[in-house]
Chain A
Amino acid sequence: MAETKKLMQVKAPMSGVFYKRPGPDEAPYVAVGDRVKKKQVLGLLETMKVFQKVKSPVNGIILEIVAEDETPLKDEDLMFIIEVV
C-alpha cells in the first residue's frame, strides 16, 4: 500500500538571487535525491550584496529544486520541495 509522502516546501524568506553552490567552481550544496539534515545549508540567497544561507527546516530527502541557479526570486517564491523522513 502506497504511503502518503509528507512534503515540506522551502520558500524564499525575502527577495534575492538564488545560488545553488558556494562558488562558481564548486559543487552544489544539494542535488535531487540527497538526504539532508535539519539546518543543513541548501543554497544561498543574495539580497543587496548580502548573502544568507537557506537551510533545511527538516530531516528529509530533496525531491525537487524549484528555484533556478543564479536567478532572482521574490519573497515567498518556492525554492525546494523536501520529503520529510
Chain B
Amino acid sequence: MFSKVLVANRGEIALRVIRACHDLGIAAVAVYSEADATSMHVAAADEAVCIGPPMSAESYLNIDAIIDAAKQSKVEAIHPGYGYLSEKAEFAQACKAAGIVFIGPTPENLRLAGDKIAAKTIMQNAGVPVIPSSNGGVDSLEEAISFCEEIGYPVMVKASGGGGGRGIRTCADAPQLAEEFAVAKMEARAAFGNDAVYIEKVIQNPRHIEFQVMADKLGHTVQLGERECTIQRRYQKLIEEAPSPFLTPELRVAMGQAAVAAAQAVAYVNAGTIEFLVNPEGQFFFMEVNSRIQVEHPITELTTGIDLVREQILVAGGAPLSFDENDIHKHGWAIECRINAEDPDKNFFPSPGTVDDFKVPGGYGVRLDTHLYKGYELPIFYDSLVAKLVAYDRTRQGAINVMKRALREFTIGPVKTTIPFHLTIMNDSDFIKGEFDTSFVERFLPEEEEDD
C-alpha cells in the first residue's frame, strides 16, 4: 500500500481525494498554483507544493512541474482527480517513466478513450450497441452527405479528438451540413489540434444514462449501477441521480452487462464510466468511456455504500476489488445538484468574487462536497463548480424533499450561484414525475442573446 500520495488537482475534488487518503492512513500532498495558496485543499493536505503561476497551462496542466513536485515530496502515487491531466495518456506515461503509480486507467485505456472513433469500433465488435455513425473520420463533404442519406437526419458532426460537449455541430438537413461541415473541421483543429471529424445520427429526445464500472489489475470488472445525467445545459450536467427513474429492471440488467462488456473489451483498469444515450423506446446506445473518476461519483457511493476514490487508490496499489457484484446492495435514492458560481439571471455567466456569506446545509441525508469557506476569494482562473450538494433518502420523492430543504438552508453570497435554479427544478412537476429528456432545462431559460 502507498504511504504518500500526491493529488494533482484543486477545488472540491482535490479535497475529496485528500480525505480518501486520510481515511486509508495515507499522507496526502497537495499541489497548488500561485492563485490557490489560500485554497482549502492546501490546508487539508499534509504537505503542499506550489507548481506555478495561476494560469492552468502553467500549473495544473504542467506535467513537468507536477512530476517534479512528486519526486521532491517522495510520493509513491499520483491521483489526478477529474479534468486537467486526468485523461491525458501522456501524463500517465510520464508518471510511469518516473516510477510513480498513476491512480487511474492505463495509458492505453486513456489513449483509446480519447479516440472516440476507435473506441466505438471496438464496442461495436464487442456487441455493445452504438449510435449509427461513420466508421471512421469523414474527410469530404461528398462523403458526409452520402453517409447522412444512409442513416437519416438530423446528424451531428463531432470532433474525433473532442470531449466535454465541445466541437459538436448539429445539422437538420443536407444544406445545413454543407454549411457546417467545413466550419466543424476548422473548429476541431483550433480546439483539439486535430481536424478529424465523424458523423453521428442524432438520437431524438434522449436520456443520458451512464454506468459506473470499477476494475482491478487482476481482471475483475464490476458495474455499480447507473446514474441518470439527463438534466444538462449545453452538454454540461447540472443534476444527476441514482438510480434512474426511467430504467426498467430488464433494461438496467441489459445496460449493466453492456457496460461490463465495454470495459472488458478495452481491458479497462480502475474507475471508469460507460456513457449511454437511451431513446424513449428504451433502446440504448454506447456513447463514450469516461476514463476518470467523475464529478457525480458521490451518488453512486451513497446508493452502493462503496467509497469509489478509496477503491481507486487500493486498486492502483495492486489490491483486488474489495467487493464483487453480489456485495453491491443498491438501496435508496441519491440526487446531486452541481452548485456553480454562475448567475442564472445573466445567462449563467460566471460570478466571481469573495464568499462573504456562507452557511452550509446539514442534517439527515445531506452530503456536501465543497472547497468553499467564509472569506474565500474565488479565483477567476478556474472552473465555476464550487459545491456538490447531494441528498439521499429511501425513495426518490424523499431525496427530492431532502434536497429542497438543503438548498433552502444553503447560503452563498454575494457571489451568485445556481442554488435558486436548482430549487425551481426540484419543484417542477415533470422533474418530480421523472419525466424529462436532455432538452428539459431549456424551458427554464430565457432565449439566449446572440453574442456576435
Contacts and interface: CB of A to CB of B under 8 A. Distances in A.
Interface of A: 14-17, 23, 46-50, 52-53, 70, 72
Nearest to A41: B452
A48 B352 contact: yes
B380 A15 contact: yes
A53 B378 CA distance: 22
Nearest to B452: A53
A27 to B, nearest CB: 14
Contact of B350 (A48, A53, A70, A72): A48
Most buried by A among B190, B349, B380, B383: B380
Interface string B368-386: 0000000000101111100
Given A48-B381, A50-B349, 4 more contacts: A15-B352, A47-B380, A49-B350, A72-B381
B112 to A, nearest CB: 27
Contacts of B142: none
Interface in B319-373: 341, 349-350, 352
B451 interface: yes
A47 B128 CA distance: 40
Contact of B380 (A52, A53, A70, A72): A72
Interface of B: 54-55, 190, 341, 349-350, 352, 378, 380-384, 451
B402 to A, nearest CB: 29
Contacts of A52: 349, 451
A48 B382 contact: yes
A50 B451 contact: no
Contacts of B350: 14, 47-50
Nearest to A73: B380
The B contact surface, by secondary structure, is loop
B341 A48 contact: yes
Interface of A is mostly: strand
**For the complex of A and B, 8 pairs with smallest distance between CB atoms:** A48-B350, A48-B384, A47-B350, A15-B380, A15-B352, A50-B350, A47-B380, A49-B383
Nearest to B346: A14
Best-surrounded residue of B341, B352, B382 (most CB of chain A within 10 A): B352
A72 B384 CA distance: 16
Contacts of A72: 54, 380-381
Contact of A17 (B55, B190, B341, B349): B55
Given A17-B55, A48-B352, A50-B350, A23 B380 contact: no
Given A17-B380, A49-B384, A53-B451, A23 B190 contact: yes
A18 to B, nearest CB: 11
A80 to B, nearest CB: 19
Contacts of B451: 52-53
B55 A48 contact: no
A72 B380 CA distance: 8
Contacts of B190: 23
13 contacts: A14-B349, A14-B352, A15-B380, A16-B352, A17-B55, A17-B380, A23-B190, A47-B352, A47-B380, A48-B341, A50-B349, A50-B384, A72-B380
Contacts of B341: 48
A49 B382 contact: yes
B352 A17 contact: no
Contacts of B383: 48-49
A41 B451 CA distance: 11
Contacts of A50: 349-350, 384
A9 to B, nearest CB: 21
A46 B54 CA distance: 13
A73 to B, nearest CB: 9
Given A23-B190, A48-B341, A72-B54, A16 B349 contact: no
A14 B378 CA distance: 13
A52 B207 CA distance: 30
Contacts of B55: 17, 70
A52 B351 CA distance: 13
B444 to A, nearest CB: 19
A11 B381 CA distance: 19
Nearest to B191: A23
Contacts of B54: 72
Nearest to A22: B190
A16 B378 CA distance: 12
A50 B351 CA distance: 11
A53 B381 CA distance: 17
B254 to A, nearest CB: 37
Nearest to B385: A48
Contacts of B352: 14-16, 47-48
The residue among A14, A17, A46, A48 with the most chain B CB atoms within 10 A of its own CB is A48
